[in-house]
Chains A and B, each alone.
Chain A
Amino acid sequence: MTLNYKCPGCGGPMEFSAEEQVLKCTFCGNTLPIDAELEDQVESSTESEKEPEPEYDEYHGYKCPSCGAEIVTDDNTTATFCSFCGNPTMMEDRMDGVRRPSRVIPFMLDKQAARENFRGWTRKGLLTPGEFRKKATIEKLTGMYVPFWLYDYNANVRMTARCTRTRREYHGDDEIIYTDHFLVNRHIQADYDKLPADASEKMDDDLMDMLEPFEYNKLTSFNMGYLSGYYAEKYDYTSADMKDRIETRVKKYADDAARSTIIGYDSVRPISTNYALRCTNTEYVMMPVWMLNYYWKGKLQTVAINGETGKRAGKLPSSPLRVFLWWAGISVGSFGICLLYNLLK
């Protein structure tokens, strides 16, 4: 049920190295390539559409393959660390059948790079409270594979709009404005590939949306090896559960696309729009995300960094004192400059 990778040399725990894109022993530095051989014990049957019944007792949970201690997880965790010995551990039965991701973008930013990225962010944030620059905060950054659905959509839009074009003529003191009115019809078609939507209930949708775009050229066949040394979750929502969310987005994109074909007018007012949206493919994938949870004003907040591209998502808190000091400083400072300018001019 649980799985971890042991160094063939020294028996130490092996973690996925974002820098070298291989499994690396945390003790001796020995490396193993991530390939099919690595997890030949895991059967990949994406054909089966039925959810496998949990064979294990949820309550009694999992045991660490290294030390035998019980692994405390919640129902969705698929990769974590043993709280006793600290070894990375995967719950492989939670990634069986339909629950097995087809592909994954492996972490490209290792912990060090993620910390540097976060530090750069806090330095740029002039209103960020000082405690956010402290080491203790930065060390709370955790790397997590977040389940995502990728949707391919075909969108067909018929749009009718009233459009106008104006021209002006001048006769003496008179200005004559002619407005030409048009009825404009457009029928467009667009294909959208790999629109991502996070499939985890725990993750804030807006926050996850802000991590986009992911670079899909790094998307590779799923292998459990990529999860070792990171946290991972499985999806709570099926691809069908999120249909509304993704279609709202496709509609907006398709609407923009249709509007973009109406050019050369001074005003465009759509009077009717018909959408035909067709989902052509869905794919279950894992995306790498660095996350930091923090309490601010008694509320749990999260900021995230795209583990592939380094794009930052969310907002850092603003310290009221810093807001006040900057505001007062800039106001008084600029007033002082005006005053001196007036005095000396």
Chain B
Amino acid sequence: MKVKLKNFFMLVIIWIWLGSIASFADSGVWDNADLFDETEEKTLTELCKKTADSIGMDVLIYTADGMTGTIRQMAADTYKSLNSDNKGIMLLIEMSERWVIIREGGPKESAYRYSDDDLEEIQNNVISAIKPDNNFYRGAERFFEEAKDNIASGFYSRSGSFVKTSTLVIIFIVCVVIGGIAVLIMYLSQRSSKVTDGRVYMRGNGEPDLLEHDDIYTHTTRQVIHHERSHSSGGGGGGGGGHSSSGGHF
């Protein structure tokens, strides 16, 4: 028992250590559209770092005045240029067409900590915070809260990919089922079986004498199944790894 406990603590230590590998140096505010005054920007930068510490990934706020391509493409390119090597979540506010979009980005696509629905929800809540009186600061604050509330719990593996707690729960259930099947096999192997094959007792070569046989064709039925050819969708958009909310107007 002692040994097991020790191993457990080792595991926890490895877990914490691996979780702390990721660096959050690239969190911050890029206020190109001048939506915040100097003190606001300073506070927000601090909040970005604080939030980054609590969620374990970079937190970025980027404002722009002028579109390049679609809003999704713009979000992907922006994230890549700012922080392509690290995992993070970015709030992008574009003033010319009044867009708000949330992007989770990073090097590994498989390691999302927000679902598409989560990003959509964060985006909509940020928009509703900004909308009444164009209060971008309140929108940013809301972004931090939402980023903290919606993030999936879990941990980073050595390679930096994220393993969700919910995934672990599923893996654990699968393991319990595997254990159950293994025990069932053990249980069944403790009992013996009956001879169910009558050929053991049949005289001759185990084949019955066929005295009469006929196979009469009666009729044929016909069934048509129509298969719709599925058209595969084209490859996804460029940029680094990541996914975005759909983008919405405020």
List A residues at the B interface (Cβ < 8 Å).
Answer: 124-128, 157, 163, 173-195, 206, 209-210, 212-213, 250, 252-254, 256-258, 260-261, 311-316, 318, 323, 326-332, 334-335, 338-339, 342-345
| Contacts known (A176-B222, A182-B218); A343 close to B15, Cβ less than 8 A | yes
A127 to B187, Cβ gap below 8 A?
yes
A331 to B179, Cβ gap below 8 A?
yes
Q: Is B192 an interface residue, CB under 8 A from the partner?
A: yes
Chain B residues numbered 142-162 whose CB sits less than 8 Å from any CB in chain A: 155, 157-159, 161
In the complex, residue of chain A having the shortest beta-carbon distance to the beta carbon of B221: A179
- Tell me the complex Cα distance, A182–B211, Å: 19
- Tell me the complex Cα distance, A179–B225, Å: 14
Chain B residues numbered 207-236 whose CB sits less than 8 Å from any CB in chain A: 207-229
| Contacts known (A327-B180, A339-B168, A345-B161); A184 close to B222, Cβ less than 8 A | no
Task: Note all chain A residues with C-beta closer than 8 A to B158.
Answer: 343-345
B208 to A188, Cβ gap below 8 A?
yes
Task: Note all chain A residues with C-beta closer than 8 A to B219.
Answer: 180-181
Task: Note all chain A residues with C-beta closer than 8 A to B190.
Answer: 124-125, 127-128, 315-316, 318
Question: Can you report 25 A-B residue pairs in the complex whose CB atoms are below 8 A from each other?
Answer: A163-B215, A174-B227, A175-B226, A176-B222, A178-B220, A183-B216, A185-B213, A188-B210, A189-B211, A190-B209, A192-B198, A192-B202, A209-B194, A257-B198, A314-B191, A326-B179, A327-B176, A327-B182, A327-B183, A334-B175, A335-B172, A342-B163, A343-B15, A343-B18, A343-B155
Q: How far is the CB of A150 from chain B (nearest CB, A)?
A: 10
In the complex, residue of chain B having the shortest beta-carbon distance to the beta carbon of A170: B227
Q: How far is the CB of B81 from chain A (nearest CB, A)?
A: 29
A182 to B208, Cβ gap below 8 A?
no
- Tell me the complex Cα distance, A178–B182, Å: 43
Q: Is B67 an interface residue, CB under 8 A from the partner?
A: no
Q: How far is the CB of A153 from chain B (nearest CB, A)?
A: 9
B228 to A253, Cβ gap below 8 A?
no
A323 to B218, Cβ gap below 8 A?
no
Chain B residues numbered 165-208 whose CB sits less than 8 Å from any CB in chain A: 168, 171-172, 175-176, 178-180, 182-183, 186-187, 189-195, 197-204, 207-208
In the complex, residue of chain B having the shortest beta-carbon distance to the beta carbon of A167: B220
In the complex, residue of chain B having the shortest beta-carbon distance to the beta carbon of A344: B158
A253 to B198, Cβ gap below 8 A?
yes
- Tell me the complex Cα distance, A126–B183, Å: 9
Task: Note all chain B residues with C-beta closer than 8 A to A174.
Answer: 224-227
Instruction: Give the bracket for the number of chain B residues in contact with chain A.
Output: 35 or more
- Tell me the complex Cα distance, A139–B206, Å: 41
User: DSSP class of A's interface residues: helix, strand, loop or mixed?
Assistant: mixed
- Tell me the complex Cα distance, A342–B229, Å: 38
Task: Note all chain A residues with C-beta closer than 8 A to B157.
Answer: 342-345
Q: How far is the CB of A182 from chain B (nearest CB, A)?
A: 5
The answer, among A212, A258, A343, for a CB contact under 8 Å with B194, is A212
Task: Note all chain B residues with C-beta closer than 8 A to A316.
Answer: 190-191
- Tell me the complex Cα distance, A242–B165, Å: 62
| Contacts known (A125-B190, A184-B215); A209 close to B168, Cβ less than 8 A | no
Task: Note all chain B residues with C-beta closer than 8 A to A253.
Answer: 198, 201-202
Q: How far is the CB of B155 from chain A (nearest CB, A)?
A: 8
Give 15 new A-B contacts, CB below 8 A, not counting A176-B224, A177-B225, A192-B198: A127-B183, A127-B186, A177-B222, A181-B217, A188-B210, A190-B209, A257-B198, A257-B202, A315-B190, A327-B176, A331-B176, A331-B179, A338-B171, A338-B175, A339-B11
Task: Note all chain B residues with C-beta closer than 8 A to A193.
Answer: 201-203
- Tell me the complex Cα distance, A276–B190, Å: 38
Q: Which 5 A-B pairs have the closest CB atoms?
A: A253-B198, A315-B191, A331-B179, A330-B179, A187-B212
Task: Note all chain A residues with C-beta closer than 8 A to B204.
Answer: 191
A323 to B175, Cβ gap below 8 A?
no
The answer, among B175, B192, B201, B216, for a CB contact under 8 Å with A335, is B175
